[in-house]
Amino acid sequence: MKKILDTDKKPILLKVSLLQPTPVTTAIVPLQPQQEKIISERERLITQVERINQMAGELEAAILELKAIANTLNSQKRYPLLKKELGKQICQYFAISVPWVKRKPDESFILTTRKVDLFRAEREAALLAQQLRQQTKKRLASQRHRKNKNGAETDTRHFCKKALVNKS
């Protein structure tokens, strides 16, 4: 048998003295947050606030779309459950809110909720319909007034012509 010599092993020569401590001439500087790091963390916070509020807006839009779809199904009466009970609605609505982050005047933030108004569209549509009805009534009234006024003037002119013809 041949002995394999390990040629990769070389002795490590270090002058390390464990007995003699080296004198320390500088103190360790306490860790302090860097101004740049604080600014970037503040920017991250503001970005997260904006993200939460954007997601809240998207969630509100999705909820309103759910309501619109349910209303369409209710009006079509094609939904299988509704055939059994014609007066039953496919969806019930309770007061709801979405998370919302508000910024206070002192630049701090409050994590709170914002109410979702599920029936705003219906109120706005009813208000618009009422305004249009009032405008139509006013327009019809003014047209009748003009017609009556024009008709009265025509009648007066016709009457005067008849009177002149009869005198001659």
Sequence ranges of the domains in the chain: 38-118, 120-168
Q: What mean pLDDT do residues 4-10 have? A: 58
Give the residue with greater pLDDT, 58 vs 18: 58
Degrees (nearest 5) of the Cα angle 124, 129, 135?
A: 125
Contact by Cβ (8 Å): 113, 98 = yes
Average model confidence (pLDDT) across the chain? 78
Question: pLDDT per residue over 74-105, tens digit each?
Answer: 888 655 555 556 667 888 999 999 999 999 99
> Could you give the maximum distance between any two Cα atoms of the chain, in Å?
161
Tokens of 130: 């009422």
Tokens of 56: 């809240």
Instruction: Say how far residue 137 (Cα) sits from the centre of its chain.
Output: 37
Q: What is the pLDDT of residue 113?
A: 96
Nearest of 32, 95, 98, 94 to residue 60 by alpha carbon:
98
Q: What percent of the chain has pLDDT over 90?
A: 36
Q: What mean pLDDT do residues 115-144 have? A: 88
Nearest of 68, 64, 67 to residue 56 by alpha carbon:
64
**Whether the model pTM is above 0.85:** no
Q: What is the CA radius of gyration of the chain?
A: 43
Q: What is the pLDDT of residue 155?
A: 54
